[in-house]
Amino acid sequence: MPESKDAHHISLYSRASNCFDKPHAGEDVLHQKAEHFQKLFHVSDEQLRDITDRFVGVLREGLEHEKQTVPMLPTFVFGWPTGKEKGDYLSLDLGGTNLRVCLVELKGNGKFEITQSKFRITSEQKHEDGQKLFDFCAQCVKDFVENHYGSCALHENLSLGFTFSYPIVQHAIDHGELIRWTKGFGNPNTEGHDCAAMLREALKRHEVPVVLSSIINDTTGTLIASNYVEPDTKIACIFGTGCNAAYMEHVSEIPKIAHLHLPQDEDMAINCEYGAFDSFEHKHLHDVRTKYDEYIDLHSNKPHEQAYEKMIAGLYLGEIFRLVLCDLVDDGVLFLGQETYKIEKPFSFDTAFLSLIETDPTDELLTVMGLFKYFFALETEYNERIFFRELSRAIGTRSARLSACGIAAIVKKMDYLDAGCTVGCDGSLYSKYPNFADRVHHSLEAILGPKGRNIKTRQAEDGSGAGSAVIAAMTKSRKEKGIYKNL
């Protein structure tokens, strides 16, 4: 057995030997494999710092020029909320996995109440004609409104904020042209179209009594919602199906919109769309990119796009894990003599399984045993289950460490390190993946030094729904004051 520097590691493996009268045939091999994958998915502190510095440069380029890989999209959301915004607003959130309709009651003291319905989006719906997808959205809003208000609300015309979590180009707050689909969507006749107009059209056709006031990205919504509740929040991140961040930039620092002649002392939220970091040329993450990342990338419906996201987001971590397992099946290391067709199915291994594997509370890893048995009809040995846990940790840790680079890059760009700030985080990876937040915090310290502790993360619950409502309220107020035709 090769020597391991990690005492915890050794004890796990010697325990594995004790569990069985005679050592299992694959034990040594699996131990070596575990070490191999720990190394493969390890990103050193030095690499984190290097990636972060490159990231800062990429953020600046996106602010300077149009059509950059990380597009740094102006959102036309000007400045922070006051916390006093009030009223009832509807919001529709088209995420990567679910569609949510919310009624948000802003209370005007940094507090809000939210009532929501969730609808699952099927894989067929991700590929049917775009207008059909928006028809489905309109129907969901209609059902929600009718359930909550009955038909008496049909003359009221509620204000609807649309949270659309894909990269859009905006010229105004109620206009958004889709640059490209991400997160596995590929609906035809949508890229290059104004998705606010497409939804407006569907709402009209379905006779839904609402007015579409704004189209925003979930990350921008999370930024504003989190700041509404906790004014120390200066950055928002999404760690869900995909990954992204938004922050508030000085208009004077966005040279690419100088031609709009906006007041230079204003601030505008920027939707970074930084899941696209390192796309196409793959030069910044080159040293940490594995053949599994490459495989996922090349077999996705958008090869070479969203390179950073594909290494860290919920849609992909389970798939990376599954690809490693398939490799080991091919090598004759795992599941010898068993039918493996179920686990050979692409994307059959949900990232939620990695969470389960990492948190199995039983000594014999019985949760892991059950998971493989019931979802994949596979029997597992104890030493294999230990290996799965090590592998989950390696993949989950890499995700969190790389995630910290994006946050650290914004902190550096905005000089937030000394004063510190809070990062509002949304998404199942952040809220449900064990240790994800701790791993991000450790990595922030590794990148930024001891002051990295000044950067805190905080759960931004229901950010996209509430944020959209706060932005609708801010927009209404600015329109009433007659500020900016671009609103």
Please list the active-site residues: 165, 180, 218
Buried b (16+ CB within 10 A) or exposed e, 79-107: ebbebebeeebbbbbbbbeebbbbbbbbe
Find the shortest distance in angstroms from Cβ 467 to Mg ion. 11
d(CA 217, CA 91): 12
Read off φ and ψ for residue 128, nearest 5 degrees.
-80, 175
Q: What is the 3-state secondary structure (H, E, C) of 37-75?
A: HHHHCCCCHHHHHHHHHHHHHHHHHHHHCCCCCCCCEEE
Rule CB under 6 A: say whether 91 interacts with ligand ADP: no
**8 A C-beta contact, residue 319 and residue 346:** yes
Tell me if 428 contacts ligand ADP by CB under 6 A: yes
**Judged by CB under 5 A, does residue 221 bind Mg ion?**
no
Cα separation values, 308 from 46, 111, 405, Å: 18, 34, 10
Stretch of 36-44, 169-177, 302-310, 421-429 lying at the interface with ligand ADP (CB under 6 A): 421-429
Coil/strand/helix, residue 110:
coil
Residue whose CB is less far from Mg ion, 95 or 176:
95
Distance CA 459, CA 272 (A): 20
Choose between 131 and 219: whose C-beta lies nearer to Mg ion.
219
Non-local (6+) Cβ contacts of 158 within 8 A are 88, 89, 90, 145, 209, 210, 211
> What one-character DSSP code corresponds to residue 206?
T
Residues 6+ away with beta carbon under 8 Å from 131: 189, 198, 201, 202
**Residue 355 site contact among Mg ion, ligand ADP, none (CB < 5 to 8 Å, cut-off depends on kind):** ligand ADP
238: nearest Cα among 415, 457, 434, 471: 457
Alpha helices by DSSP H, 360-462: 366-376, 382-414, 428-432, 436-448
Beta carbon nearer to ligand ADP, 55 or 353: 353
Type of residue at 209? P
Cα 91–chain centre separation: 19
Query: Which of these ranges, 84-92, 222-230, 351-359, 371-379, lies near ligand ADP under the rule CB under 6 A?
Result: 351-359
**With binding defined as CB under 6 A, does residue 314 bind ligand ADP?**
yes
Q: Which of 26, 71, 74, 95 binds ligand ADP (CB under 6 A)?
A: 95
Which of 95, 396 has the CB closer to Mg ion? 95
- Using CB under 5 A as the binding rule, whether residue 275 contacts Mg ion is answered as no
Q: Which does 300 bind (CB under 5 to 8 A by kind): ligand ADP, Mg ion, none?
A: none
Q: Which is nearer to ligand ADP, 26 or 465 (CB)?
A: 465
Positions 250 through 279 that interact with ligand ADP (CB under 6 A): none
Indicate which of ligand ADP, Mg ion, none lies near residue 314 (CB less than 5 to 8 Å, by partner kind). ligand ADP
Stretch in the footprint of ligand ADP (CB under 6 A) among 281-289, 334-342, 428-436, 448-456: 428-436
For residue 247, which amino acid is it?
Y
User: What SS3 class is residue 93?
Assistant: strand
DSSP E strand stretches across 44-199: 73-78, 86-94, 98-107, 112-120, 158-164, 168-169, 177-178
- Contact string 114-133 vs ligand ADP (x = CB under 6 A): --------------------
The pattern of x and - marking residues 98 through 117 that bind ligand ADP according to CB under 6 A reads x-------------------
Q: Taking the CB of residue 465, how many other CB atoms lie within 10 A of it?
A: 28
When the beta carbons of 359 and 477 are compared against ligand ADP, the nearer one is: 359
Asked if residue 167 binds ligand ADP (CB under 6 A), the reply is: no
For residue 122, the 8-state DSSP code is: P
**Is residue 427 a contact point for ligand ADP (CB under 6 A)?**
yes
The structure tokens 């240790």 sit at 435
Angle between helix axes 7-19 and 382-414 (nearest 10 degrees) is: 160
Question: Residue 356 Cβ, how far from ligand ADP at the closest point, in Å?
Answer: 7
Q: Of ligand ADP, Mg ion, none, which one sits near residue 227, judging by CB under 5 to 8 A according to partner kind?
A: none
Q: Lay out the site mask for ligand ADP across 223-242 (x = CB under 6 A, - = otherwise).
A: -----------------xx-
Rounded alpha-carbon distances, angstroms, from residue 99 to 133, 138, 242, 307, 340 = 11, 11, 15, 25, 33
Asked if residue 71 binds ligand ADP (CB under 6 A), the reply is no
Under rule CB under 5 A, residue 161 binds Mg ion: no
Does residue 306 belong to the site contacting ligand ADP (CB under 6 A)? no
Binder of ligand ADP out of 289, 412, 432, 441 (CB under 6 A): 432
Residue 424 binding target from Mg ion, ligand ADP, none, CB below 5 to 8 Å by type: none
Mark residues 190-229: x for contact with ligand ADP by CB under 6 A, - for none. Answer: ----------------------------------------
- 209 contributes a contact to Mg ion by CB under 5 A: no
Which of 103, 168, 208, 429 touches ligand ADP (CB under 6 A)? 429
User: For residues 221 and 427, which CB has a smaller minimum distance to ligand ADP in the complex?
Assistant: 427
Q: Could you list the residues that contact Mg ion (CB under 5 A)?
A: 95, 240
Q: Could you list the residues that contact ligand ADP (CB under 6 A)?
A: 95-98, 240-241, 314-315, 350-352, 355, 427-429, 432-433
